[in-house]
Amino acid sequence: MPEGHMIHVDARRFDEAMGDRVVHTDSPQGRFADGAAALDGRTLRDTEAFGKNLFLRFSGASPQYLHVHLGLIGGWTWWDADHQQLSGRPVVNADSSNVRLRLRTGRGDAERSAELRGAITCTLVDEEGMDRAVAKLGPDPLRDDADPGLAWAKVRKSKKPIGGLLLDQAVTAGAGLIWRAEVPFLAGVDPHRPGVDVAEDEFTTMWSEMARVMSEAVERGGKEITTDPADRPETDGHVGRDDAFYVFRRDGEPCLRCGTEIRVAEMGTRKVWWCPSCQPR
């Protein structure tokens, strides 16, 4: 599932490529034909990401918002005028049979298009509909209006493990498997520790680290890196997948800081990774 930082990357792409421009829309798959027809010819006025939810605000009568949640397999792919892919998950032998929604803007060589495939949510909502969707979410570390105190209020009263709470979108909006593993490591907290046993300064550190590493990933166009250069092997500047994380998907390997074997376990229905030495219970 794309994590929250990728939704903020998507929002930036829409703002840069289609912001304040007339957008033409269609639904090659046919499942969103009415919605696409309602948006066709409108101007994209604003883009906003909240956790794993993307909202595109268009001109014209209500409903003005396109609400997209990519779910487990959804994604946007971007194309130039010659239908050469610019970004997004590589599409092999691309055709339009599974494109829920296509948005196009520009003319000639300047034309750009974005295609949506596999999203769990693709719908039109009005202002109230957007507010209802956002009201279900906890604060988003990437947003300027985020209030970490709202997340802390839930964490401090919960007996659930902090690794699970970080993944709960009603507690913190946007975090996924990467951040729920890496952030506790950066704060020196075992992900199995119940929320009630997490000190406020430890949570403050986790929030600060989460905001930092997610923001840096957005600035890199989505590439996730949490390791400090001093903890990585000397390279030509390229950070590979094996060197990008401290614990995520590194079970059985030595901790980059202390050498202890990284462990993995099931938490809920998904996995979590940690270093037993650097993250005391």
Residues annotated as catalytic are 2-3, 52, 270
User: For residue 45, which phi and psi values (nearest 5 degrees)?
Assistant: -95, -30
Please report, for residues 67, 99, 174, the alpha-carbon distance to residue 53 in angstroms, rounded to integers and kept in the order given: 7, 19, 8
**Rounded Cα distance, 180 and 11, in Å:** 23
Please report, for residues 82, 216, 243, 246, the alpha-carbon distance to residue 225 in angstroms, rounded to integers and kept in the order given: 33, 8, 8, 9
252-274 core/surface letters (b: 16 or more CB in 10 A; e: else): eeebbeeeeebbbeebeeebbbb
What token pair was written down for 224? 């996730």
Q: Quick check: bond before 63 cis, omega within 30?
A: yes
Rg of the chain over all Cα atoms, to the nearest angstrom: 20
Query: Do 230 and 239 meet the contact criterion of CB atoms below 8 Å apart?
Result: no
User: For residue 204, which phi and psi values (nearest 5 degrees)?
Assistant: -60, -40
**Rounded Cα distance, 250 and 274, in Å:** 9
